[in-house]
Structure 1
Amino acid sequence: MTLGVALAQTNSANYVDDSVRQARAAAGFGVRSVWFGQRMDYDSPALAALVGRAVPELAQVGTSAIPVLGRHPLLISALAQTAQAATHGRYQLGLALGSTLAATAFGVPFDRPIARLREFLTALREILDTGGADFHGEFFTATPPLPTAVPGAQPRIPLLVAAMGPQALRVTGELADGTLPYLAGPKTLEEQIVPAITRAATAAPRVVAFVPGVVTSDVEAARARAIEQLAFYEQVPSYRRVIELEGARRAGELAVVGDEETVAAAIRRYYDAGATEVVLTSTDLTGPADQQRTWQLLGDLTSGRTPVR
């Protein structure tokens, strides 16, 4: 079973140093998969490359997820291949459609996101698979005059997309290796996401479920903090949809909180629903001690010291 954590810091003197410190601490508990989101400050492939190189015991370092809006396939290819070479084949590239926030930041329209995603993935796949491209689309042109392959960027970089809607899942199944759903509970995974991407894919797709969760004795405080911290996602249509599909009103209701047995059982439900991997986010909801307790559980589950029943 592949289990991981998504890391994020808000108050640190040096973001890179703190990311390495946290990744090393998580790995010390037996966690083997660490992921970084893409915000508007740090560069997530560069951060993943630095962390993966500094913490070689990690089996995976990934980004989830870089919006294609405002990016170009050639630039993402260069970043991803550099990270893959730096980590000696342990990098996982996660992409997303984008949002009105990204559109505002880059000063570009957020229109026809599915068509844009299809073009981006088509061009990027050609670049990564062939070391060149001759792609001419409506949104992107990729015709590099020089080779694009980076020596050492092997094996083939996994291409994952944070797709949750039917159209995005269809494109992802056709052109990528899997999906990175967030705030999509077990019911939504089993009934909506897994069937949609599986129908479109030619091979069994990866379904890397990102789930807010923490092992804690203070369930009430953790739930209240989750509802506060995750409220932002309730305003985003794609997240609002999966929250409602799960029968929840607030995003924080989908956070997995409780003791080790409770969290392990919840993780099992995601696997039973079709997830191939689970990544816990927001493990710092109730402070460092509970975060480390959560990492310890993930390490125990990964090693089989604690069975998932």
Structure 2
Amino acid sequence: MKVNINGSGVLLAADLEAQIAHMAEAAADGFERYWLAQVGLTDALTIFAAAAGRVPDIEMGTAVIPTFNRHPSALAAQALTAQALTGGRINLGIGLSHKPTVEENWGMRFERPIRHLIDYLEILQALLTEGRVDYHGEIFTCVSEAARPTDSPPSLLVAALGPQALKVAGRRTDGTILWMVGPNTIREHVAPTIREAAAGAGRPDPRIVCSLPVLVTDDAAAAREFADVMLENYGTLPSYRAMLDREGAQGPGDVCVFGTEEEVLDHLGRIAEAGATEFTAVEFGIDPEAVSRTREVLKAYNA
């Protein structure tokens, strides 16, 4: 398992220069991949395209782009453009989002999410790999043919937590991206479900990308209490709540990677042993000393 950086915390400030500087710092520290969520009014793929010439030595990934508010043909065009401009460094992570977001924020109906995902992938993958599609699905329809800016499609992953979504991800894509998922749940639920689906479809072993907040601290209990407040929403969304319950976690803080240098390294080791192929750290601290300690441990894991 390789450890990489998820810079979504920086993204919340919507300071694009700071974001690109953070990405450059991750590259200078030897990390292989830099991930961003789709947050607010900043666009992850556009940031990656803009950073391509300034940060040439790191792959880039979206974790994740919601599907409900972006037609698959629009996402295919944007992803292929970013893939071409970055020289083939994009990892495209997509996800269904959540019913409250889709219905309350966007005014759409969160219905038949697995059928939605299957239709979405049918169109998206055809356009990414061939540049043409003639698909009339139950949720999405697309008839399109156009030249692609690159013949090298990005690696495609799906954020999946439930068994049906994991099976779709395993059968049809390169793997899954996880959030708020601990090592026991990876070992007992995520890894066996997605691997069995991939094997049944004749696909290679899937990527399992685990992302969690990380902080090196001498007071892990206080950090967990703070995380429970800051990340409270994740403990109430049904899909994440189900993963926390599987892990035996009371709140989000219980699955965060907090502790001393030795405790953080041990926690990362347990995530690797559970079956994660990549870990992306959301560095949680704001104190400069804590940030530095955390980054040094993440670098040490890869050494």
Q: TM-score range by the shorter chain?
A: over 0.9
What are the Cα deviations for residues 21-72 of structure 1, in whole angstroms up to 9, with x where unaligned? 11122233322321111123111111222234321121x2111011111211
Matched position secondary structure for 1:198 = helix
Q: Is the 8 A contact 2:223 2:253 kept in 1?
A: no
Which residue does 1:95 correspond to in 2? 94
Question: Which residue of structure 2 aligns with residue 230 of structure 1?
Answer: 231
- Per mean C-alpha deviation after superposition, the further-off stretch among 283-292 and 160-169 is 283-292
Partner of 1:193: 190
Structure 1 residue ranges without an equivalent (≥5): 305-309
Q: Cα offset for 1:11?
A: 7.0
**CA RMSD, aligned part only?**
1.7
Letter paired with 1:107: G
Distance across 2 between alignment mates of 1:284 and 1:220: 14
Partner secondary structure for residue 281 of structure 2: strand
CA distance 1:272–1:11, change in 2 (3 Å): closer
Shift of 1:200: 0.9
Supply the AA of the counterpart residue of 1:167: Q
**What amino acid maps onto 2:174 in structure 1?**
D
Q: 1:168 and 2:168 equivalent?
A: no
Residues 11 and 19 in structure 2, CA contact (< 8 A), matched pair in contact too: no
* Residues 126 and 132 in structure 1, CA contact (< 8 A), matched pair in contact too: yes
The residue number in structure 2 matching 1:216 is: 217
SS in 1 for 2:208: strand
Match of 2:126?
A: 126
Task: Tell me the secondary structure at the aligned position of residue 262 of structure 1.
Answer: helix
Task: List per-residue Cα deviations over 1:235-263 (Å, max 9, x = no partner).
Answer: 10000000010001111111111122211
Equivalent residues in 2 for 1:258-277 (5 A)? 258-277=259-278
Which letter maps to 2:220? V
Equivalent position of 2:45 in the other structure = 45
Does residue 58 of structure 2 align to residue 70 of structure 1?
Answer: no
Matched, 1:178 2:179: no
Q: CA deviation at 1:264?
A: 1.2
* Secondary structure in structure 2 of the residue aligned to 1:110: coil
Report how many aligned residue pairs link the two structures. 297
Once the two structures are TM-superposed, the CA of residue 216 in structure 1 deviates from its matched residue by 2.2
Contact 1:30–1:296 (8 Å) recurs in 2: no
| More displaced stretch, 78-87 vs 270-279 | 78-87
State the one-letter code of the partner of 2:76.
S
> Residue 244 of structure 1 aligns to which amino acid in structure 2?
D
Aligned residue in 2 for 1:307: none
Structure 2, unaligned runs of 5 or more: none
Change (3 A) 1:11 1:46: closer
TM-score (norm 1): 0.91
Are the counterparts in 1 of residues 34 and 60 from structure 2 also a CA contact under 8 Å? yes
